[in-house]
Amino acid sequence: MNPYLPSWEYIPDGEPHLFDGRVYLYGSHDKFKGSGYCLLDYVCYSAPEDDLTDWRYEGVIYKRTDDPENRDGKLCLYAPDVTRGPDGRYYLYYVLDLLPVVSVAVCDTPAGKYEFLGYVHYSDGTRAGEREGDEAMFDPGVLTEGDRTYMYTGFCWSYAKDRHGAMVTVLGPDMLTVMEEPRFVLPSGQYSKGTGFEDHEYFEAPSIRKYNDIYFLIYSSVKFHELCYATSTSPVEGFKYRGVIISNTDIGIDSYKKASVPAFYGANNHGGIISLDSGDYIFYHRHTDGTNFSRQGCIEKIKIEKDGFIKQVEITSEGAEKGHFRGKGEYPAYIACNLFCDKEQTYTGDPGTFLGPDFPRITMDGVDDPHDINYVSNMVSSSTVGYKYFDIIDLTQVKVWVRGFVEGDLSFRIGIDGDKLGSVHIGKENYWAEHVINVDHVTAEAAALYFEYRGTGALQFLKFELI
């Protein structure tokens, strides 16, 4: 289910790679209640290639103090990527915040302890990103073919005229030395006129893959919440805009709402695709705690067509589940894929700011307890939380566990605009309390479940059970 890792784990910017029968997940590492992005060391999770619901913690693979430029630990490890080099070893590419260069670490295994190797540099030893006229390296995405590694980088505010877009730099077999100097492959907001990328220009987060002789360059657009993609038959030129794969607000999806309406509170986005025998998937992240700085990884199933086309998919609670959820049993409230209230809001706010007191959010109580459980918090009146999808047969009761100094009703319905099927009155309760919503023998396939609170105060929602 989504998020696919434990609810207390905050790993955004997910890059999945298949190595020897397992999918390894690399990403940055946020801290709950953190003061900024990516405050923790890199860790790795892995899963069997035929079951992306069975994730195993591999431990810390690289510490921020392992980089010679950061022995005092004052800089953060931003979004990384990993590739297998021509020598069979695994190479970790990353940037430290505030530095314009790409660092590289190496390991003999996909999830072992990586050791610092060096910085990407030109043949004269100058670090790429520091030479006069260079644009800063950022968010490296890497792909190795033979003895050449293609490294994609770039960070471009839409208003910045000194940032031209995503760059590709070709590295030699030592995985550090530039063979072909940076060239621009995707335009930024200032340089997109007539390119086909208008309104979806490059912002950050390049992720590169190759399937069926087509190169897929996934990226975060200037709209922040969406992951777009471009394709080419060459890794260094000719990329054409193809569309949006996913939005962490579901903007662009009009199957259950208007396309322009957000169904979750979003912000930046970053992730990659993977194609397995079990199907095709997009990895992305959602924002919790009403802030930009506590992000959790999610997965959705996609379909990569032979011509490279990928249709935008909904955000769901299912993740990589094989089929819909059973319409019986207990489910945690934090797997919500829709979260909103009457006051429309797309973003959590600018970096460093939070959703105000008028909006619900997903959070947890403890900062230091590694096994704390997320829940839905601050459900002010009109707050609605949604879950997709369930195959329901003869549903007669929905139990809910809630708390809060409130006075109001929690109602249950199927479909975002569905009729109310039942409700329960919630009083002032400081501890998690069980309540029952009675419904009349409901049966529905692929049902989207919604709970809405109306009343005073701000309700907290822990879990529900379908009976």
Beta bridge partners of 425: 409
DSSP string, 222-286: TTSSEEEEEEESSSSS--EEEEEEEETT-TT--SSS-TTS-SS-B----B-EEEETTEEEEEEEE
Give percent helix, percent strand, percent coil of the chain, each to the nearest 5.
Answer: 5, 50, 50
- Of 66, 201, 204, 250, which residue is the catalytic one? 204
Asked, as a colleague might, if the bond just before 351 is cis with ω within 30 of 0, I would say no
Q: How many CB atoms lie within 10 A of CB 124?
A: 7
Distance CA 228, CA 211 (A): 17
CA-to-CA separations, 263 to 35, 250, 422, in angstroms, rounded: 26, 6, 23
**Could you confirm whether 391 is annotated as catalytic?**
no
What SS3 string covers 97-139? CCCCCCEEEEECCCCCCCEEEEECECCCCCECCCCCCCCCCCC
Distance CA 298, CA 449 (A): 19
- Rg over alpha carbons for the chain, rounded to the nearest Å, is 23
Instruction: Give me 104's structure tokens.
Output: 């590289």
Exposure class string for 385-405: b at 16+ Cβ within 10 A, else e: bbbbbbebeebeebebbbbbe
CA-to-CA separations, 408 to 32, 378, 434, in angstroms, rounded: 30, 14, 15
Distance CA 183, CA 193 (A): 18
Task: Answer for the pair 186, 197: CB distance below 8 angstroms, yes or no.
Answer: yes
Distance CA 352, CA 424 (A): 37
Return the ∠ at Cα 59 (arms to 26 and 19), rounded to 5°: 45
**Could you confirm whether 199 is annotated as catalytic?**
no
- Of 13, 81, 226, 300, which residue is the catalytic one? 13
Beta strand 42-48 with 22-26: parallel, antiparallel or unpaired? Answer: antiparallel
Distance CA 187, CA 164 (A): 6
Name the burial class of residue 39, with classes exposed (0-12), middle (13-18) and buried (19+) by CB atoms within 10 angstroms of its CB. middle
Q: Which residues contact 209 (CB under 8 A, 6 or more apart)?
A: 143, 215, 216, 218, 272, 273, 274, 275
Catalytic residues: 13, 204
